[in-house]
A and B are shown apart, each in its own frame.
Chain A
């Protein structure tokens, strides 16, 4: 039974990432050949297109973990991260793997994602501070070897992504599927638009995007996961100016995620005054359980 639930969660996690144009490589739940001939069990191999700075494709190993808060321990998390780090090192130089998936020979395979779902989602709400503390105290290897990037998406991050997908889906139904993520210009690399969401955005507090409406006007969209007081919006406004994303001729839609009804109500009327452009505030759905599209 536990294994069945684990497999189901694996499919659900894959389902979520494919909503953001991540592409699966091969089957799920497979043993992949290491460079020394041994095998590494991998839940799913993915590729996605990175658009921030220099556009390129990245290979990613995704591991799906499903736990109850009372069964979880920091040593489990430490073990997963250490193992995933080793898997990345052992797989990227595997001739056999490159033979099986030739694309691996041409792209970096240095990224791992652990999608960790606590299925007692209500209990997680009071447990998450402890999870954050476990994460903060993970010890990472500092050997002089290739560096790997490992990301842990737990309930909050998973539900943010699910909610983001729901909002984009609804928006796309109104605008004819024209929404794209916007990757601003950084370090002289030009700005890029893409339907693929990169990992950097997944871990960020706001995500930029845009679409051209039926009147051929570019609309700018911000999915914002930060706080809701006036200082938070002042900072957000400054961020948009700083990324050259504030334009008085282009309507701006800000989707907020957090809920702070009392405080937000007090400042809500002040927020449009901060922005020079026509501003519309919309709310994203705040989720506690997995939405139906993932189940």
Chain B
């Protein structure tokens, strides 16, 4: 796989190091080398570290951390459905892997059956050029995991746990190489929802999207877009809804009112806006956890994905909440559950079986 071993300039290295949000990484990186700078802010520490003359191993560690630190895991997915009841996606993927039917820039792994389940996990690494970025980060190697499970005769659900909206498409393109005409790939594509049904979809997610042990609290963010769903991002006009209007929307949801009757929503629809992304805050019913989930249509085509935007834990009743990091398994479980419930709602709205 193509990989360029760029040596960053001092400026680039400093910029990359100071943009890494995980200060712990920067401290650890310096301290493992025997460098301890006391009473210092992140920028100054980044400047000190960027003065070092580093080797490939150091630079790869920085690059990897930079990618992870600047990306949030999003879960999306699709269903591969065939009229042939014996259709087996796992075998098809095996063919791709064994016969190297993947593209030059892709590097898939062998599937692994997850113990005590019928789920198969795999991952794909691929090179993606990022124009206009700092050269050191330009030739980015992206990696994502996917999980496939047979959900009915000839039907396989695939969940993609990645960091980029292009991840899901990489896998769909790969699967397209081997599936036959009697098989289709069903995605949660925003183009299948009209303006009104997109409002209904996001409305229903508040109360029906999350696992039963969480309560919906509020809407913390809503972005609406004007323009055709088929437009690229540049052709669209995006608005972030202000907090006053969010309060009104939250109230309508909590009271079980039809969101389309809300004054702000009515006005937005009239002006040609559709709902594009909504962030919901949920509180665990019995444990001191609060989390914000972002549900969004993203990429080309605009495919539905779920991200944990914020996760907080309190140490007791009335205690201040602090930012926490869910384990990778916990994070995936939360997003997977939300995505699967969203899929049911989406299919009901568009009357897809």
Contacts and interface: CB of A to CB of B under 8 A. Distances in A.
Residue of B9, B34, B39, B56 most packed against chain A (CB within 10 A): B34
A206 B55 contact: yes
A93 to B, nearest CB: 15
A81 interface: yes
Interface stretch (A35-43, A119-127, A140-148): A140-148
Interface size range of chain A in the complex = 35 or more
A235 B39 contact: no
A144 B40 CA distance: 8
A205 B61 CA distance: 14
B37 A152 contact: no
Interface in B18-48: 27-28, 31-40, 44, 48
A63 interface: no
A207 B35 contact: no
Contact of A148 (B37, B54, B55): B37
Contacts of A187: 10-11
B22 to A, nearest CB: 13
A152 B39 contact: no
Interface in A66-99: 81, 85
A187 B12 CA distance: 12
A151 B58 CA distance: 18
B51 interface: yes
Contact of A152 (B27, B34, B51, B53): B34
A151 B35 contact: yes
B34 A235 contact: no
Contact of B7 (A143, A201, A208, A242): A242
B52 A151 contact: no
B34 A151 contact: yes
A144 B39 contact: yes
Contacts of B48: 149
A281 to B, nearest CB: 16
A85 B5 contact: no
A142 B39 contact: yes
Contact of B37 (A143, A149, A205): A149
A238 B5 contact: yes
Main secondary structure of the interface of A (DSSP, over half): mixed
Nearest to A140: B38
B55 A227 contact: yes
Given A187-B10, A242-B7, A136 B56 contact: no
Interface in B283-335: none
Contacts of A143: 39
Contacts of B36: 81, 138, 140, 149-152
Contacts of A142: 39-40
Contact of A147 (B6, B8, B40, B54): B40
B177 to A, nearest CB: 30
Given A136-B32, A142-B39, A148-B38, A186 B51 contact: yes
A287 interface: no
Contacts of B56: 226-227, 231-232, 234-236
Given A144-B39, A186-B10, A135 B53 contact: no
B33 to A, nearest CB: 5
B120 to A, nearest CB: 32
B116 interface: no
Contacts of B39: 140-148
A227 B33 contact: no
A147 B44 contact: yes
B57 interface: yes
Contact of B53 (A85, A136, A140, A239): A239
A204 B7 CA distance: 14
B345 interface: no
Interface string B113-129: 00000000000000000
A153 interface: yes
Nearest to B50: A186
Given A140-B38, A150-B36, 19 more contacts: A81-B36, A135-B31, A140-B27, A141-B39, A144-B39, A145-B39, A150-B38, A157-B34, A186-B51, A187-B10, A200-B52, A204-B54, A205-B54, A226-B57, A234-B5, A236-B55, A238-B6, A238-B7, A242-B8
List 4 A-B pairs, minimum CB-CB distance, nearest first: A226-B55, A205-B55, A204-B53, A238-B7
10 contacts: A136-B28, A145-B39, A224-B55, A232-B57, A234-B56, A235-B7, A235-B55, A235-B59, A242-B7, A242-B8
